[in-house]
Amino acid sequence: MAKSALLKSSLAKKYWMAFTGLFLCTFLVGHLLGNLQLLLPVSEAARDQFNEYALFMTTNPAVMILSYVTYISILFHAIDGIVLTVRNRKARPQKYVNFKPSTNTRWASRNMGILGTVILVFIVIHMQMFWAEMKFGSLEAYSTASGAQVKDLYTLTIQSFQDAEYGLIWVIVYVISMIAIAFHLSHGFASGFQSLGVNHPKYNNFIKKFGYAFAILIPLAFAIIPIYIHFGLEKI
């Protein structure tokens, strides 16, 4: 029983949801730190630095393993979320005529599925825009000052958000997605700890506040990047 319990039971699904979710939180931090390089003033050096970083992130074996774990986590988190949502719907086949969840719960906590779907669609768009172009597209390759042979992801990224026709639309899409992530994290971060059984009057307040700070600051920093590239950065 114990073995199947960790795979099949309702609580197991919650553990995996929490575990993958919190892992993805750490991924967000790493991804953000790398992306902040895009805020550097436009120069050959900035271009080389970002493209060499992108090359490292796609070829270093340790990073590659981490990225596969990230893909699996995203998939698992999404599928587990769908399974849980379907089961939860089944648990109340006859709906209430009058149901007032707003009196006792926060909006984000009730709409994790919708927020998650928005985020999943964003991830697909985001990967199609950059990851797929880098991996399968016809990105221009060149030699950096240090002699590394790299694909020019930097120029693609900057141009995508500075594009006269679609640039602003992409900025809006990215900002809306970051708002969805912010709301998702505002419930998900602390909720993950609760699901894993980490709840103690001594630490609850800290986890909650840290979760809110994380939910605001990380998506905000991410959102600043396309906004700055479009409105602030020198055009290339």
Partner 1 sequence: MKLTLKIWRQKNAKAKGSMQTYNISDVSPDMSFLEMLDVLNDSLIEKGEEPVEFDHDCREGICGTCSLQINGEPHGPDRGITTCQLHMRKFKDGDTIVIEPFRAAAFPVIKDLVVDRNSFDRIQQAGGYISVNTSGNTQDANSLPIPKEDADMAFYAATCIGCGACVAACKNASAMLFTSAKVSQMALLPQGKIEASERVLAMVDQMDKEGFGNCTNTGACEIECPKGISLENIARMNREYLKASVK
Please tell me the distance from the alpha carbon of residue 126 to that of residue 176, in angstroms, as a whole number: 13
CA atoms within 13 A on the CB side of 70: 15
Single-letter amino acid code for the residue at 64: M
Q: How far is the CB of 1 from partner 1 (least distance, A)?
A: 6
State in angstroms the smallest separation of the CB of 16 from partner 1. Answer: 12
> Which residue type does 216 have?
I
Closer CB to partner 1, 117 or 144, in the complex: 117
- Residues in contact with partner 1, counted by CB under 8 A, come to a total of 45
5 binds partner 1 (CB under 8 A): yes
Q: Which stretch binds partner 1 (CB under 8 A): 57-65, 96-104, 134-142, 168-176?
A: 96-104
HSE, CB side, 13 Å, CA atoms: give it for residue 131: 11
10 touches partner 1 (CB under 8 A): yes
Among 28, 196, 221, 224, contact with partner 1 (rule: CB under 8 A) = 196
Nearer to partner 1, 82 or 175 (CB): 82
Count of C-beta atoms within a 10 Å radius of residue 61: 7
Between 107 and 166, CB nearer to partner 1: 107
Helix/strand/coil percent split, the chain, to 5? 80, 5, 20
Q: Would you say 88 or 143 has its CB closer to partner 1?
A: 88
Stretch that binds partner 1, among 58-66, 108-116, 169-177, 223-231 (CB under 8 A): 108-116
Residue 231: CB partners within 8 Å, gap ≥ 6? none
Can residue 136 be called a binding residue for partner 1 (CB under 8 A)?
Answer: no
d(CA 227, CA 172): 9
- Say whether residue 1 binds partner 1 (CB under 8 A): yes
Q: How far apart are CA 68 and CA 12, in angstroms?
A: 22
202 binds partner 1 (CB under 8 A): no
- Contact between 194 and partner 1 by CB under 8 A: the answer reads yes
Question: Which 3 state secondary structure label does DSSP give 139?
Answer: coil
Distance CA 65, CA 97 (A): 50
Per CB under 8 A, residues contacting partner 1 are: 1-3, 5-6, 9-15, 84, 87-88, 90-101, 103-106, 109-110, 112, 187, 190-191, 194-201
